[in-house]
Amino acid sequence: MSDASQPRVLALESSCDETAAAVVAGSTILSSVVSSQIEVHQPFGGVVPELASREHLAQVVPVVEAALERASISWVGELDAVAVTEGPGLVGALLVGVQVARGLASAAGLPVFGVHHLEGHVFSAGLGDDERPARALEPHVALVVSGGHTELVAVRGLGRYEILGATRDDAAGEAYDKVSKALGLGYPGGPVIDRFAAGGDPAAHAFPRAMLDGGLEFSFSGLKTAILVHLERQGEPDTRQGLADLCASFQAAVVDVLVSKACLALRRTAADRLHAVGGVAANRGLRAALAETARREMFTFEVPPLRYCGDNAAMIGAAAAARIAAGYSAGVEVHASRTLEESKVLRL
Ligand code: KG4
Ligand code: ZN
SS3 at position 151 = strand
| Phi then psi dihedrals of residue 85, to 5 deg | -70, 125
Does position 130 have pLDDT exceeding 80, yes or no? Answer: no
Check if 194 has its Cβ closer than 6 Å to any atom of ligand 1: yes
Q: What is the pTM of this model?
A: 0.95
CA of 185 to the centre of ligand 1 (A): 15
d(CA 26, CA 3): 9
Average pLDDT over residues 245-266: 98
CA of 251 to the centre of ligand 1 (A): 13
Ligand 1 pocket test, candidate residues 19, 37, 176, most atoms within 8 A of CB: 176
b/e per residue 49-76 (b: at least 16 CB within 10 A): eebbbbbbbebbeebbeebbeebebeeb
pLDDT at 343: 76
Rounded distance, CA 96 to CA 77, Å? 21
Residue 28 CB neighbour total at 10 angstroms = 19
Q: What is the mean pLDDT of residues 273-283?
A: 98
Ion ligand 2 contact residues with beta carbon within 5 A: 146, 311
Distances (CA, A) of 140 to 123, 222, 276, 348: 12, 29, 10, 22
| Nearest-angstrom CA–CA distance, 207 and 210 | 9
The rounded distance, in Å, linking the Cα atoms of 125 and 139 is 13
pLDDT in tens, 226-241: 999 999 999 999 999 9
- pLDDT at residue number 42: 86
The pLDDT-based confidence of 344 (bands split at 50, 70, 90) is low
The alpha carbon of 31 and the centre of ligand 1 are apart by a number of angstroms equal to 22
Best residue among 37, 42, 146 to mutate for probing ligand 1, ranked by most atoms within 8 Å of CB = 146
CB atoms within 10 A of CB 293: 18
Strand pairing report for 273-277 and 160-166: unpaired
3-state secondary structure at position 326: coil
* pLDDT tens string 74-91: 999 999 999 999 999 999
How far is the centre of ligand 2, averaged over its atoms, from the C-alpha of 118 (Å)?
7
**110 — alpha (psi -120 to 50), left (phi > 0) or beta?**
beta
> Which CA distances in Å does 164 have to 126, 218, 223, 266, 341?
21, 11, 22, 10, 10
